[in-house]
Structure 1
Amino acid sequence: MRRFLAAALTAVLLASGCTPGDEADTPGGAESPASAAASPPADLPEATSELADLAAALTANDVSTVAMTTDPAAAQEDLTTIFSGMDGHYPTFEAGELAYEGEQAVGTLTVSFAMGEDDWSYATPATFTLQDGEWLLEWAPSVVHPELTEQTRLRFAQEEARRGPINDNTGLALVEERALYEVGLDKARIDEGQWATVAAQLAGLLEMDAEAYTAKVLGAGPRAFVIAKTLPQVEIPAGVADVPGRHVREIRAVLGPSSTFAASILGTVGEPTAEMIEASEGKLSVNDRVGRSGLQSRYDEQLRGVPMMRVDLVSRAAPEGASPSPTPMEPRTLFQQDESVSEGIDLSLDRDLQTKAEEVLSTQEGLATLVVINLADGGVLAAAQSPTGGTYPHATFGKFAPGSTFKVVSALAMMRHGVGPSSTVQCPATLPVDTYTFGNYTGYGHTGAITLTDAFKYSCNTAFVAGAEQVTSEQLAAAAGSLGVGTDYDAGFTSNFGTVAPGSRIDRAASMIGQGQVTMSPLGMASVAASVGSGRTVIPWLVKGHEAKPTAAPLTAAEAQGLQAMMKATVDTGTAQSLKGTMIGAKTGTAQWGPAGQQQTHAWMIAYNDTVAVSAFVEVGDSGGTTAAPLITALFS
């Protein structure tokens, strides 16, 4: 019978592509697998259902109800021990073929781990013995893996690949994985009477609140390692080495120039959420670090690379009260996935300009943003927001009424309808459209018959509202597309290019002055300025190799020249004169928002010079010229 079992095991492993050795080919070894029958003799029952039930029970990690020749509770305890070092990794089991001889049957189980890039699967045997007409499992650890014994178990190990850097526009790392050191007190290394004194000593060296850290130490468990600070190695004071009970532990961290630098764009790295682990179908565990937001999330697979994963066969701990084995076995690797080199990504972001933009906005009350685009190639050089914005990407993904900055789009639509920069348009004080009456901003004084350029540079609302009678919703949307907005592009980062879809006659009139249903992000309005300044449709990009291509009708040279003339006039003699010497062309904007009776004002300024285009946005402001323009002046001073 033993010869049969060896042959059946060999048959199982050969069928799965795993060979335990050459015993079957050795004279005097096991019988040929051909001696085992594929089906039971006529007077014996099939063991198919028992094998299927075992596979289901093992998959459910519960063999306590499986009929076996030994105690199922002991088998369940054995199963728990086998997987105790697997960090939650657990396989599925699938029933395969059966081989019979006499009153025994050996079934094949296919064991599959959702682990690594290509998963891990193998075959293992399960032996049943017929007793009183019933097939009973002969429990053994080899049911889980053919090499497991009562003295061994499985152990999982993982080492992350070094995370790829995110580089600036010069190729230098903005964000990369670096070594940091947790400095703290290991309470188990010193007597209880020293805890408070040593905690205060360590806190003093690290220039932190000694009272607060001492309280933290005393409140932790008697064997706790209580972290005081996490620092680069060069910042650890030399005196720390002389503190009794001190402990310094190296960790790996993904760091940028500061914790706030371009945080809404770059994103964060951390432990995957329960939802992420479930969606990964076994590819992720709590041992992993993944991109949680921003570019770190979007390009996580590329930046993270492939970690080293290994499953070893190791000795079990000696039972309680028993002496440990004098010669524990050396761990033996059953599965290994080698680490692969991760890849970085290259950005258009300019480190110095982003830093200065954040400095300009650092003291701004409420939400404000600055977005800068390179006219030469459309790359985003900076996308910053004030501290109030937190980590939500308001600068690139916000949805705000653009106000009169949208008159650049409306002017293009009117030009395509035959109204040139020098054409005469009417600018009445008010203009009724159906049940709503539009007016100009308080203090506006350039009414009557004026040129389109004057209506633009002084920002006459009613002249553009009147233009809605000739410009259709489709034509307005087409003009927006030629200036890089109103179309949903996947630009390789979290970006919003706005919505231009006016409906009713009133809504179309409101859309002409950037109100109604029109919404834009600061990135989108910077795109409009960049398209005018460069003379071509600009879809801004951030990640090299992930540039979106415009799908709208291109901006013609004549159209660009007309818009440039009007935006230049706005700087020379219009509402953006404060930008003289800094910008060539610009457009101011305000937009009312909020519930009736409690409305507030967005303040906008978009502009360009010979090299860059910029948008400045203040969520609650006064006017583009007085609230948004100073941000641009400060940025380029």
Structure 2
Amino acid sequence: MTHTSGRRRTSRSPLKVTAAAAATLALTAGGAYAVKIGPFDNGPNALDPAAAAQARAFLSDWSRGRYDAAAGRTTSPARAGEVLRSFTEGLDINSPRLTAATAERADDGVVSVPFTAKMPVKALGTWTYTSRVRLREEKGTWKVDWSLGLVHPHLSDQAKFRLEREETSTPDVADRHGKTLTGDTYPSLQPLLTQIASGDGGPRGKIRLIDRVTGQTKRTEITFGRKEAPASARTTLDATWQAAADRALGAEADGKNASLVALRVDNGEILAMANSPATGFNRAASGTYAPGSTWKIVTSSALLLKNAVTPQTIVDCPKHLIVGKEFHNVETSEFHGATFQKDFMESCNTAFISLRGKLGDAETGDVARKYFGVGQEWHVGIPSYDGSVPVPKDETEKAAAMIGQGRIQANPLIMASVTATAASGHFHQPTIRPDTDDRTTTTALPRTVVNQLQTMMRATVTGGTAHILADLPGTIGAKTGTAEVAEDEENNGWLVARRGNVAVACVVEQGVTGGGSAGPILHRLLEAVPDDPS
């Protein structure tokens, strides 16, 4: 319950040549003159700074499409201008990057600057290669020694490049048991099917080096896409859970924007991902919301990890608390002499804020990243937002962060994962495809902390703000959340829960309270699917 301010991815047709499309090159981060040329010294073999400056200027002009200026820095301006303009024609290259390495001096006095070119080819991938800029001194002025090999080592008067695309069909998408998933039957999946299937199907193509006269292929520079697309792209989704999730949102979202995620606790596999409305933006995985008091799972973990509190520690819960601004509880509730567990059960904002001095400014974010994987790079199998927990700018923002407000951002996918981690003690990167790459590195929560979290989450169902789930079978633990968006808008409502091997999270925009808006949705879902998935 938070009341602070916050704003708040099989048949084939013959290969075909694409239409031409010119591109503008861009240097990597650092700007026009961030190319590394050096190091320089004053010895007999020291590089002339003027040569470095000319190399930087040439790369800067070329990268920005200033072809005349770039060509003017070469030993052959007319030819250089012609080639630089025509090089990317027909290759569908958009906004590539040039990254220069350290300059080198050759025995003949030439200065050489190696560089890497990364050229994104529309809808296919990135063509990466290396080349080098060579400079000679002519009458006291350094000039780029022009050659076609500067642009690409294989470019010549006899050979040029051609892009060939191959049209492919998109494979069907199946659930974990092989059942075909369609947008008609599972409405929330309609916008996601192409993203899910793109890992197995999607466009394919090649960039080839061809003879300028005969058009015959001399070599293939790069191949994009998989060689073969399977008939069906398997997912971790469970058709039964997905159908129940769509029905729950349809019946209980009351026309509001809402989304939910259900995933397995033991491995992070996504069982269901649903949005209302079903078409359009995937709020469940790509939304950016203040998580409100559901974030108190992470805050509590940070406090418990350093023994700042125990569930039985007395932490008073007054109606109001001023930390640069006034913070209060829902309906200005208060619980004098409350234990920390009682504060968690009743989602007392003021109690949590009063404990902010127990944690360093960056400590909650460090715990979120180290133990819960929040803010690390996730490879879910579709586009996703992986969370943000910035260091608070001041004491007021730190107070807000203690209760999931301020600049903290998450979504149902993140909060379902947080709930699963709290249940097992181990973070498992959420996935919707069984073959996704996991590059995260986390540490397991101590068993004592896991037990304390589960005790408090269970008490939140049996006697706290998540009592709407109390009549369901199974040992359910949960946490509600209410997150302010703006003064003139109703609060977003949150609820996260864990039952058996499944963790779920739901957000309802302008839902007022978590128990009142997200509660009925998750109740209907868990009631419809009483058993753990196989």
Give the direction of change, closer, same or farther, for the CA distance of 1:579–1:483 in structure 2 (3 Å limit). farther
1:171 is aligned, of 178, 203, 214, to 178
Aligned 1:223-372 pairs, distance under 5 A: 256-258=183-185, 260-267=187-194, 294-297=195-198, 299=199, 302-304=200-202, 306=204, 340-343=227-230, 345-363=233-251, 364=253, 365-372=255-262
Give the stretch that moved more between structures: 468-477 or 565-574.
468-477
Which runs of 5 or more residues in structure 1 are unaligned? Answer: 1-51, 61-94, 97-107, 118-157, 176-255, 268-293, 310-332
Offset, 1:505: 0.7
Aligned 1:481-630 pairs, distance under 5 A: 481-492=369-380, 493-501=382-390, 502-580=392-470, 581-582=472-473, 584-594=476-486, 596=487, 598-630=488-520
**For each residue in 1:132-174, what CA deviation from the matched residue of structure 2 results, as whole angstroms up to 9, or x when unmatched?**
xxxxxxxxxxxxxxxxxxxxxxxxxx7x444334332123443
> What is the letter of the counterpart of residue 437 of structure 1?
E
> What is the letter of the counterpart of residue 187 of structure 2?
T
Partner of 2:263: 373
Give the match's secondary structure for 2:316: strand
Give the direction of change, closer, same or farther, for the CA distance of 1:576–1:259 in structure 2 (3 Å limit). closer
Partner of 1:467: 355
Partner of 1:72: none
Give the match's secondary structure for 2:164: coil
- Partners of 1:443 and 1:482 in 2: how far apart? 34
When normalised by structure 2's length, the TM-score is: 0.61
- Partners of 1:524 and 1:115 in 2: how far apart? 40
Offset, 1:379: 0.4
Residues 541 and 547 in structure 1, CA contact (< 8 A), matched pair in contact too: no
> What is the letter of the counterpart of residue 304 of structure 1?
G
- Partners of 1:567 and 1:457 in 2: how far apart? 7
Partner of 2:291: 402
**For each residue in 1:218-277, what CA deviation from the matched residue of structure 2 results, as whole angstroms up to 9, or x when unmatched?**
xxxxxxxxxxxxxxxxxxxxxxxxxxxxxxxxxxxxxx555834134333xxxxxxxxxx
Residues 373 and 380 in structure 1, CA contact (< 8 A), matched pair in contact too: yes
Offset, 1:360: 1.9
- Partners of 1:626 and 1:564 in 2: how far apart? 22
Offset, 1:356: 2.0
Cα RMSD after superposing both structures: 3.3
Residues 169 and 349 in structure 1, CA contact (< 8 A), matched pair in contact too: yes
1:415 aligns with 2:304: yes
How many residue pairs match? The answer is 362
Offset, 1:370: 1.2
Partner of 2:126: none
- Partners of 1:392 and 1:611 in 2: how far apart? 28
Offset, 1:386: 0.4
Offset, 1:539: 2.3
- Partners of 2:426 and 2:238 in 1: how far apart? 22
> What is the letter of the counterpart of residue 415 of structure 1?
L
Residues 188 and 273 in structure 2, CA contact (< 8 A), matched pair in contact too: no
> What is the letter of the counterpart of residue 442 of structure 1?
E
Give the direction of change, closer, same or farther, for the CA distance of 1:525–1:483 in structure 2 (3 Å limit). farther
> What is the letter of the counterpart of residue 329 of structure 2?
N
Offset, 1:347: 1.6
- Partners of 2:227 and 2:321 in 1: how far apart? 66
Identical residues among aligned pairs (%)? 29
Offset, 1:636: 2.0
Partner of 1:70: none
Give the match's secondary structure for 1:495: coil
- Partners of 1:529 and 1:462 in 2: how far apart? 23
- Partners of 2:240 and 2:359 in 1: how far apart? 43
> What is the letter of the counterpart of residue 177 of structure 2?
T
**For each residue in 1:471-492, what CA deviation from the matched residue of structure 2 results, as whole angstroms up to 9, or x when unmatched?**
1122111222255253232324
> What is the letter of the counterpart of residue 287 of structure 2?
G
- Partners of 1:628 and 1:303 in 2: how far apart? 36
Residues 393 and 494 in structure 1, CA contact (< 8 A), matched pair in contact too: no
Residues 369 and 376 in structure 2, CA contact (< 8 A), matched pair in contact too: no
Give the match's secondary structure for 2:262: strand
Residues 197 and 233 in structure 2, CA contact (< 8 A), matched pair in contact too: no
Give the match's secondary structure for 2:387: coil
Offset, 1:549: 4.9
- Partners of 1:116 and 1:401 in 2: how far apart? 45
**For each residue in 1:282-322, what CA deviation from the matched residue of structure 2 results, as whole angstroms up to 9, or x when unmatched?**
xxxxxxxxxxxx3345x3xx41365799xxxxxxxxxxxxx
Residues 541 and 548 in structure 1, CA contact (< 8 A), matched pair in contact too: no
**For each residue in 1:524-578, what CA deviation from the matched residue of structure 2 results, as whole angstroms up to 9, or x when unmatched?**
1111111122232232112212142542332111111110010010011111111
Give the direction of change, closer, same or farther, for the CA distance of 1:466–1:172 in structure 2 (3 Å limit). same
- Higher gyration radius (CA): 1
Offset, 1:451: 0.9
> What is the letter of the counterpart of residue 459 of structure 1?
S
Residues 261 and 355 in structure 1, CA contact (< 8 A), matched pair in contact too: no
Give the direction of change, closer, same or farther, for the CA distance of 1:559–1:334 in structure 2 (3 Å limit). same
Residues 306 and 342 in structure 1, CA contact (< 8 A), matched pair in contact too: no
> What is the letter of the counterpart of residue 384 of structure 2?
S
Partner of 1:192: none
Residues 483 and 538 in structure 1, CA contact (< 8 A), matched pair in contact too: no
- Partners of 2:257 and 2:384 in 1: how far apart? 18
- Partners of 1:347 and 1:398 in 2: how far apart? 21
Offset, 1:416: 2.1
Give the match's secondary structure for 1:427: coil
Aligned 1:4-43 pairs, distance under 5 A: none
Runs of 4+ in structure 1 over 2 Å off: 108-113, 160-167, 171-175, 256-261, 263-267, 294-297, 304-309, 337-341, 343-346, 481-486, 547-554
Task: Tell me which of the two structures has the higher relative contact order, counting C-alpha pairs closer than 8 angstroms and 6 or more residues apart.
Answer: 2
Partner of 2:522: 632
Aligned 1:68-217 pairs, distance under 5 A: 110=158, 112=160, 114-116=162-164, 160-174=167-181
Give the direction of change, closer, same or farther, for the CA distance of 1:367–1:382 in structure 2 (3 Å limit). same
1:442 is aligned, of 318, 331, 355, to 331
